[in-house]
Structure formats: C-alpha cells, structure tokens
Amino acid sequence: MELIPIFSLIVLVATLGTFVLAIGAYVMFRIRETRGRAGLPQVPPTFEADVMAPEPVETENPTAPLTGTARRTFTPDEKLVQYTSDGYVPLKNKPSEERRRWR
C-alpha cells in the first residue's frame, strides 16, 4: 500500500473543501450586504434639550498664572533642550556642524 496516492487524495479533498467553504462564505456575505441596504435605519426625530454650560471658576488673583503652566523663553543658542527633573535645561553636548551634513 503506497502512501503517495492516499496523501494526494487528502490534499485534493482539503483543497476542494476550502474552495466550497470560500464560495459559501462569499454568497452569505453578499446576502447579508443586500439585506443591510434594504433595512436602513430611519433618522431619529429631533428632541429639544437644555443647553448646559459649566460654571465659571473664580480665583483670588485672576492675573496670576496657574501653577505648572509657566513658559520659559529660550534664546537661539538654547534651542536644543533636554527635559530633566529640574525642567527643561539646555543641552551640554551640542551636535557639531560637521556631523550634520545632508547627503
């Protein structure tokens, strides 16, 4: 009893079964798509609603900046900065002009 004809028959049956399942899945997909188009939901009616807005927050000193939002301006020499636990500090090792070449 040879194994090659048996294995080839198994591969043939598996391939044909895969094709049949693929065709069946495609047909079911097309049926579902055509049903979905026929039963489009209607636009719901509009409702009247009250507009709610948050109440304004009053502070003691409205001109004082909020904590954590103060910004520091940098000079052109300090454009490259690094974030540390102390905040943003200028880089110590600036990249040299020789290493930044365009090809």
Tokens of 91: 């880089």
Of 102, 82, 103, residue with least CA distance to 92: 82
Q: Band the pLDDT of 15: cuts 50, 70, 90.
A: very high
Model pLDDT, residue 25: 97
DSSP for 77-91, written as a single string: GG-SEEEETTEEEE-
- Using the structure block, give the residue that is written with the tokens 């069946």: 24
**Cβ contact 82:88 at 8 Å:** yes
| pLDDT score of 2 more than 70 | yes
Model pLDDT, residue 89: 77
